[in-house]
Amino acid sequence: MQSNEIEPILSNNLNFKNINHGFFTKNGGYSNKNNFSLNCSYSSNDLKKNVYNNRKLVCNYHKLNIQNLKIVNQVHGNKILIVNNIRQITSKIDADAIITNKPNIILGILTADCSPVLVVDPIRNIIAAIHIGWKGAIKNILSNTIDSFIGMKSKVKNIRLAIGPCIGPESYEVQKDFYKKFTKENIKNNKYFINILTNKYKFDLPQYIKDQALDKGVIEKNISNTNNDTFIEEHNFFSYRRNYKNNLKDCGRMISTISIKAK
């Protein structure tokens, strides 16, 4: 049963008259139990009708129909899908970033500890929604997305991006093999880790994402972070890692969305 009107977290960095966006919390939807309440993932054990109605709520926020919502099959990779029309079917396409320059298309990303990143070029009217976990981060999904913007005549100086709620550096505990994956890629990546115990570290995913954007030439003032930790903020966010720690097998997903308004 719906508990409240949904109120997403917004970024001032993406505040443009022709853009709607939101990092939605887990609150305000129809789902129950482990998926309470705005679960937007069909891969959970939630009732399909609950997920459908939750997604409709999100589309209502954009003042668009649910058919306008485009979500891909996220696989922790670096592939990008460009959406050119509302009729395009995306749900079975493996990708972790979605881009469009067309109005009335809602781009959606599902997360529960990974980072949702929303991107806008307000000059060229190009938007993107990116799913970035550690695998996608090390495979350069963000860099690939920025390259796609440039391929669509965007200038890096005009690109703005917002890093949404994800597992924070105080909560993201990893093992030494994880640490080695990143330092093998670049020894300078050790700056994103704090050694807390023998063979145990804490990893700063949001900072890693921010620095990737800076390395591509995105201006620092054009990068924002909601600074929410999904693992700690249990009342607002789903967390796969928190559920796993508590022996809960099922976990809902938040949705983060962005769209261009029609003129």
CATH number at 96 reads: 3.60.140.10
The reported pLDDT for the residue numbered 1 is 47
> Is there a domain that residue 188 lies in?
no
In a domain, 36, yes or no: yes
Question: What is the model's pLDDT at position 5?
Answer: 76
**Can you give the pLDDT at residue 34?**
86
* Residue 76 placed within a domain: yes
- What's the chain's Rg over C-alpha atoms? 18
Q: What is the structure's pLDDT at 249?
A: 86
In a domain, 6, yes or no: no
- Whether 218 contacts 154, CB under 8 Å: no
Q: Is residue 121 part of a domain?
A: yes
Question: By residue range, what is the domain housing residue 18?
Answer: 12-168+204-260
* d(C-alpha 254, C-alpha 244), whole Å: 17
Ranges of residues in the chain whose predicted pLDDT is under 70:
1-4
Burial of 112 from C-beta contacts in 10 A (0-12 / 13-18 / 19+): buried
Q: Is residue 18 part of a domain?
A: yes
- 0.95 exceeded by the pTM? yes
* Structural domains counted in the chain: 1
Q: Does residue 195 form part of some domain?
A: no
Residue 214 falls inside a structural domain: yes
